[in-house]
Amino acid sequence: MAVGARRCARAIIEYEGTAFAGSQYQPNARTVQGELERALNRLTGERVRVRFAGRTDAGVHATGQVAAFCLPSPPPGGDGVRWRELQRRLNAVLPPDLAVRALRSAPPGFEPRRDALARAYRYRIRMNGARVPVDRHRTLEIDESLDVGAMRLAAAQLLGERDFGAFGSDAHGRTVRELREVRITRRGDLIEIRVVANAFLRRMVRSIVAVLLQVGRGRLDAQAVAGFLGAGRRALHGQAAPARGLVLERVIYSNQQGGRGGTRRTTSAQ
């Protein structure tokens, strides 16, 4: 490789979002991007900019966020060795609430946001007053019991390509998204809501969860949920579920973008 040649990387990162003001850089605030760039700059001595597959708000967590960045010069060693060593060194200097789970070369022209086919989020709710202290920063704990059957009926009305302006906002005014899955599972007092879409509006998942919570509590009829779509106003006056229950779990790419060849099948960021 020529001297000074740049090498670009794709990373899967995990973070506990409680102490972050969000994923994207903000002046005078602690962010995931700020911490990751600071670590890269410290190790390389160069200014390295990081791009993410999606933004997460303050308090939202991630187990499968995808980041991309380019180095001014490649790390020494063979391709696999250099990225494993950089991953080890990054995790040694990153704060304990942020880690690089995987690191490898990025395909030419890889853009983590633009190239993603879908994103998957999971929201966790613990009901009936149950408390699990080690989970308190990543689970919404409520005293009520929820009607999961009614929540599933409501969720089914949201599937498909729709105008989701009632559930979120977009800086460019585009509010049509394709919601591919809203799966609600229960294990004892724990409820998990898995939401998959081609892309999400800001606060969209938490706004959907807020509506499902109202349905589960019996305060909103399950059949009324479809009426929020295309209504021209925010559902529940813009109410959103607390950030702590939400995790960006996975970002999905084509096999070609994932570096395994082929274009029709998909591979997750994990």
CA distance 195 to 208: 9
User: Hey, which residues does 37 pair with through a beta bridge?
Assistant: none
Q: Is 8 left (phi over 0), alpha (psi -120 to 50) or beta?
A: beta
Pairing of strands 7-15, 61-71: antiparallel
Residues noted as catalytic: 57
Closest CA to 94 of 37, 53, 51, 52: 37
What is the helix (H) or strand (E) element at residue 178, kind and residue range?
Answer: strand 176-187
> pLDDT 10s per residue in the chain (270 long)?
344 457 899 999 999 999 999 999 999 999 999 999 999 999 988 899 999 999 999 999 999 999 999 987 665 555 556 899 999 999 999 999 999 999 999 988 899 999 999 999 999 999 999 999 999 999 999 999 999 999 999 999 999 999 999 999 888 888 999 999 999 999 999 999 999 999 999 999 999 999 999 999 999 999 999 999 978 889 999 999 999 999 999 999 987 555 433 333 444 443
For 84, the 3-state DSSP assignment is: helix
CA distance 99 to 92: 9
- Full set of structural domains in the chain with CATH: 7-114 (3.30.70.580), 118-249 (3.30.70.660)
**Interatomic CA distance for residues 5 and 17, integer angstroms:** 35
**CA 160, CA 65: separation in Å to the nearest integer?**
24
Dist CA 118 CA 51 (whole Å):
17
Please check whether residue 139 is in contact with residue 191, taking contact to mean a CB–CB distance below 8 angstroms. Answer: no
Give the single-character DSSP code of 123. Answer: E
